[in-house]
């Protein structure tokens, strides 16, 4: 059996975007989303929300459904932003409530302290350094604001799992760097972020399609790491936002 090519995120999502649903479309994402949404306030009225690494826009849409006053979605992949834009046009009646911007997680095109709530779902592992993107998430969040981060659980990497997909009959995987809880603890301490809650969700057997091929060990271990962080007043700031952010 040939090895699965590992692509960098820009290459991977250029191929994957056309078939990438704007929802949690596999059991791992469903477990991750349930955990993250349990940490998101039910009422986001008048709140400014940033979805960093927004992909197909699933958390942009969730924030708007909870009444967010303004939502910005940022993603490095132009193809995924197009996918998100098409979905949001179908779902959202007031397009002025959101904006999609192309940009990198380690250089977010957003002003300092802009967001009341910043979300980064299943994206930070695409970067090969945790502290740099986490510093950016901190910078763009106001003092006292909340950051909700999730990533594939590092135990999956240890078990040899890949973030894979199929395009035109070829199986590919997206490059992913696993981060242990100790890595998060160290980076948050350096940046002035307080870890308020950590959830390690398990798969729900009901989410697994009948006849699906999967590692049965996945039912016995956590599949995601979801963190609620609070930006404290001493958090680092000072990066220059990219032109285009409101």
pLDDT tens-digit series, residues 89-147: 998 888 889 999 999 999 999 999 999 999 999 999 999 999 999 999 999 999 999 99
Using CA atoms, how far residue 244 sits from 71, 76, 108, 202, in Å, is: 14, 15, 11, 39
Beta pairing class for 70-75 and 48-52: parallel
* Model pLDDT, residue 22: 83
Is the pLDDT confidence value at 28 over 50? yes
Average pLDDT, the chain: 92
Residue in 38, 31, 36, 61 with CA at minimum distance from that of residue 49: 61
What average pLDDT score do residues 142-157 get? 96
Torsion angle of C-alpha atoms 171, 177, 179, 183, degrees rounded to 10 = 180
User: Helix, strand, or coil here: 125?
Assistant: helix
Report the share of the chain in percent with pLDDT over 70.
94
* Model pLDDT, residue 234: 62
Q: Using alpha carbons only, what angle is made at residue 124 by residues 78 and 162, rounded to the nearest 5 degrees?
A: 90
* Model pLDDT, residue 238: 46
Q: If pLDDT is split at 50, 70 and 90, which confidence band does 209 have?
A: confident
| Residue pLDDT, tens place only, 47-67 | 999 999 999 999 999 999 999
* Model pLDDT, residue 245: 44
pTM of this structure: 0.92
* Model pLDDT, residue 212: 78
| Residue pLDDT, tens place only, 186-208 | 999 999 999 999 999 999 999 98
Is the pLDDT confidence value at 242 over 60? no
Residue in 92, 95, 14, 94 with CA at minimum distance from that of residue 55: 14
Token pair for 75 = 């993603």
* Model pLDDT, residue 93: 84
Contact 190, 156 (CB under 8 A): no
Beta pairing partners, 98: 71
Is the pLDDT confidence value at 239 over 50? no
CATH class of the domain comprising 6-231: alpha beta
Task: Give me the residue spans of the domains in the chain.
Answer: 6-231
How many CA atoms lie less than 13 Å away from 141 in the CB half-sphere? 32
* Model pLDDT, residue 2: 62
CA distance 55 to 148: 16
* Model pLDDT, residue 241: 44
Report the share of the chain in percent with pLDDT over 90.
79
User: Helix, strand, or coil here: 224?
Assistant: strand
């Amino acid at each position: 059996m040939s090895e699965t090519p590992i692509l960098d995120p820009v290459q991977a999502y250029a191929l994957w975007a056309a078939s990438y649903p704007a929802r949690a479309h596999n059991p791992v994402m469903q477990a991750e989303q349930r955990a993250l949404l349990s940490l998101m306030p039910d009422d986001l009225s008048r709140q400014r929300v940033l979805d960093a690494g927004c992909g197909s826009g699933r958390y942009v849409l969730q924030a708007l459904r909870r009444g967010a006053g303004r939502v910005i979605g940022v993603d490095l992949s132009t193809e995924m932003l197009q996918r998100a834009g098409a979905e949001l046009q179908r779902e959202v009646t007031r397009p002025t409530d959101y904006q999609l911007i192309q940009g990198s997680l380690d250089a977010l095109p957003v002003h300092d302290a802009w967001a009341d709530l910043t979300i980064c779902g299943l994206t930070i592992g695409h970067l090969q350094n945790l502290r740099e993107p986490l510093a950016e998430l901190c910078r763009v969040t106001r003092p006292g604001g909340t950051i909700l981060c999730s990533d594939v659980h590092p135990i999956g990497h240890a078990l040899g799992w890949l973030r894979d997909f199929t395009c035109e009959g070829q199986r590919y995987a997206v490059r992913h760097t696993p981060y242990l809880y100790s890595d998060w603890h160290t980076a948050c301490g350096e940046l002035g972020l307080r870890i308020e809650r950590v959830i390690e969700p398990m798969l729900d057997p009901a989410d697994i399609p009948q006849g699906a091929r999967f590692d049965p060990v996945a039912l016995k271990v956590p599949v995601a790491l979801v963190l609620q962080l609070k930006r404290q007043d001493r958090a680092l700031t000072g990066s220059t936002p990219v032109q285009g952010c409101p």
